[in-house]
Amino acid sequence: MREYIAKKLAIAVLVLIGVYTITFFLTFMLPGDPARVSLGQHGSEEAVELIRAQWGLDEPRYVQYVEYLKNFIKGDMGVSFRYYPREVIYLIRYRFPVTAYYGLWSIIFAVAISVPLGVMAAYKQNTIIDNIAVLISQIGVSLPNFWLGMMLIAIISVKLGWINPVPDVEYGYIWTPIGFFASLKDYALPIITVGTGMMASNTRLTRSSMLEVVREDYITLARSKGLSERVVIMKHALRNALIPVVTNVGLQFLLLVGGAVLTETVFGINGIGKLYIDAINYRDYPVVIALTLIYTGGVVLINLFVDILYSKIDPRVSLR
């Protein structure tokens, strides 16, 4: 197992460096001088030069490349161009809780609904429940989540006035034990927006996985032992059926990123997604590069985690 992890991490480092390089040079292809952009029209030439020097923009490219990387490894992600002199780490730390909050709840929402629904639909195949489940998952998978968000705002916030479109909550509050649950109402719409797609794909997977498992010989043998249907389903069938579902949920953490960007644009939430898009639009290179690296790193870690988890729950699988 250790060799497996080591090997995967080694590849990961290569990938990260590749991503860093590409991102670094691509961002410099973005037109517009960041120093100029941040000062606006009225800055004098000297001011622009000063800032360029301060930010190290007048150094040769490859120097910047190496410098930034060295610092990053030490944990210094640099200073944001847009919010100068705020450090990048500060910005990320400030905005991360919100995104994590509704992201986590989205996954909880998705799993809490999809697993029971999928199991029930498989068990009562071709009845009303099954047909509804299939329909819901088809729709959920095809529904553009940003459109869903807009429609939710339009109907629930505007027409019905039940919930505020832009969550209006102090950031420190949402991760306190009480706040974790109390803020649900305010974030309900973004959570549903991000969670519906995940819920739909999970329902489909759970259902089809259950259907496959229930047909297996070992289920018949289990029944022939005299076990009650409940035990057969809960103990024998479910454990097997949920294996692919668990990995799928793991992978869905990755989809949160795309979801975050879209959702925060629709709802105007000040989270990581918005930070990222704004950074690109405002030529805030350090933020762009930092977030890109963090994201890629996250992808690798989550993939690794999913692989390990999979090998733990399915005894047939061993890591190579």
Partner 1 sequence: MKDKEILMEVKDLVTRFYTEDGVVKALEGVSFNLYKGETLALVGETGCGKSVTALSILRLLSISGKTLKGEVLFYDDETKKRLDMSKEGPIEILKLEQSDMLKVRGFGMALITQDPMTSLNPVYTVGDQLMEVIKLHKKLSDDEAKKIAIELLEDVELTPPEDIFKKYPHQLSGGQRQRIVISISLAAEPALIFADEPTTALDVTIQARVLELMQELKEEFQTSLILITHNLGIVAETSDRVGVMYAGRVVEIADKYTLFKRPLHPYSQGLIAAVPVITEKREALSYIAGTVPNLIHPPSGCRFHPRCPYATEICKEKVPELKAVETDDHFVECWHVDEVIKDLDKKGGVC
Partner 2 sequence: MVGQVDFKKLEEEKKKLTRRLYLQAIVVAVVLIAVRLLLISRENIDAWGVRLAIVGIYILVWYLFLDYVYKRWRDINYKGERDPINRFVHRLYQNKLATLGLFVVFSVAILALFAPEIALYGSDYESEWKEFALMPPSREHPFGTVSSGEDLFSLICYGSQISLMLGLGVEVIVAVIGIALGVVSGYYGGAIDKIIHYFTDVIMSFPFLILVIVLVGALRANPALNERIIDFSKSLGMDAHLLMVFLALTVFGWPGIFRQVRGQVFSIKERDYVAAAKVVGASRSSILFRHIAINTLGPVIVVMTLGIAGVILTEAGLSFLGFGADITTPSWGRLLSEGNSFVTQSKYLYLALFPGIALFLTILGFTTLGDGIRDAIDPRLKL
**CB of 225 or CB of 320, closer to partner 1:** 225
Q: Are 19 and 293 in contact (CB under 8 A)?
A: yes
- Cα–Cα distance for residue pair 226/238, rounded to 1 Å: 18
My answer on whether omega of the bond before 286 falls inside 30° of 0, hence cis, is: no
**Helix segments in the chain, DSSP class H:** 2-27, 34-39, 45-55, 61-74, 88-123, 128-142, 145-152, 177-182, 184-214, 217-224, 229-231, 238-267, 272-281, 285-313
**CB of 174 or CB of 189, closer to partner 2:** 189
Angstrom CA distances, 211 to 107, 121, 136, 221, stand at 23, 9, 18, 17
**Tokens linked to 315:** 């005894």
Contacts to partner 2 from residues 123-182, by CB under 8 A: 134-135, 138-139, 141-144, 146-147, 150-151, 153-154, 157-159, 165
Q: Are 48 and 34 in contact (CB under 8 A)?
A: no
**CB of 57 or CB of 134, closer to partner 2:** 134
Residue 61 engages partner 1 in binding (rule: CB under 8 A)? no
In whole angstroms, how close is the CB of 27 to partner 2 at the nearest point? 6
Angstrom CA distances, 172 to 111, 180, 263, stand at 26, 10, 21
Count Cβ atoms below 10 Å from residue 307 Cβ, excluding itself: 17
| Interface map 211-230 toward partner 2 (x if CB under 8 A) | xx------------------
Q: Identify which of 237, 251, 227, 231 has the alpha carbon closest to the alpha carbon of residue 206.
A: 237
Answer for which of 223, 246, 297, 302 binds partner 1 (CB under 8 A) is 223
Those residues with Cβ within 8 angstroms of residue 133's Cβ, 6 or more apart along the chain or in another chain: 117, 118, 120, 121, 203, 207
Residue 315 engages partner 1 in binding (rule: CB under 8 A)? yes
**CB of 199 or CB of 213, closer to partner 1:** 213
Answer for which of 207, 245, 252, 284 binds partner 2 (CB under 8 A) is 207
Residue 1 engages partner 2 in binding (rule: CB under 8 A)? no
Residue 64 engages partner 1 in binding (rule: CB under 8 A)? no
| Interface map 248-267 toward partner 2 (x if CB under 8 A) | ---------xx--xx--xx-
Answer for which of 99, 240, 247, 252 binds partner 1 (CB under 8 A) is 240
Residue 274 engages partner 1 in binding (rule: CB under 8 A)? no
Answer for which of 227, 254, 277, 309 binds partner 1 (CB under 8 A) is 227
Residue 222 engages partner 1 in binding (rule: CB under 8 A)? yes
Q: What is the DSSP string of 222-266?
A: HHHTT--HHHIIIIIIHHHHHHHHHHHHHHHHHHHHHHHHHHHHH
Residue 216 engages partner 1 in binding (rule: CB under 8 A)? yes
In whole angstroms, how close is the CB of 236 to partner 1 at the nearest point? 5
Which of partner 2, partner 1, none is residue 27 near (CB under 5 to 8 Å by kind)? partner 2
Collapsed DSSP state (helix, strand, coil) of residue 79: strand
- Cα–Cα distance for residue pair 99/256, rounded to 1 Å: 9
Q: Largest alpha-carbon pair distance within the chain?
A: 86
Residues engaged in binding partner 1 (CB under 8 A): 125, 215-218, 220-228, 236, 239-240, 243, 313-316
Report the interface residues with partner 2, using CB under 8 A. Answer: 11, 15, 18-19, 22-23, 26-27, 29-31, 134-135, 138-139, 141-144, 146-147, 150-151, 153-154, 157-159, 165, 207-208, 211-212, 257-258, 261-262, 265-266, 277, 280-281, 288, 292, 295-296, 299-300, 303
